[in-house]
Structure 1
Amino acid sequence: MFFFASISKGQEQSNNRDYQYVLIEAVKKKNLGNLPEAIKLYGLVIKDKPDCAVAYFEAGSIYLATNQLDLARKNLAMAYALDPGNEWYTIAYMNSLGALEEHEEVVEILKGKIK
């Protein structure tokens, strides 16, 4: 089981390695098809590092692929909010909105991108 300690200034570099390790483990679990375990690991990263857009993106992608659309939208919205310039996050978020038939929001995002 993985866990994170609270960050102090001296532990910041170690904690950075810890969350990266957990991200790598989550990708392994995802690639091996163990999606529930991958989701748990992405959740640990998000809990410890709530500004980690990639963890939200990966979790949201799993939720989208498994038709858990509300969870997909929530996680992909966070990834997009944290890094709106990332094309992968934008496309995935719009896909989740489209799956929920929230087409007007997709149009607004696209309008913002062409300005």
Structure 2
Amino acid sequence: MSCLTYYKEGTAFCRECLHSTVDLDLKIADVIFELNVKGYLTSNCCAGHSKESVSYIKFKVDMQEVDVPESFFLDRHNSLEMISYHKAKGITKKKMEQTVSETEYVTYWLRSLEKLRSWANELPIR
């Protein structure tokens, strides 16, 4: 991302910097903008879409010295990833699929995104 400008879906090039645009999940677009403006440059992200996927942000800069938000961990590839529901609750994935309602999962996911948002807002500028 070069200039951090929002465009309608389907726009291929930025009118400001002429670089190609990237798709962002609207649920975490504000977090991605906040991180990039503060110097925590990102390359990929996903807000997560179901019990099968989790939110993650891949960074272009080293994040090893940064404390991560609750409900997340930093993997060896410099990606901040949400701890999956079943791991956070200490149950198997199969048990989660059998016993956890969509509402319960979505509540966990939304709370995790709010923790991520607060974390990003509180980070100092690099």
TM-score (norm 1): 0.30
Q: Which has the higher helix share?
A: 1
TM-score (norm 2): 0.28
**Larger relative contact order (Cα-Cα within 8 Å, sequence gap ≥ 6):** 2
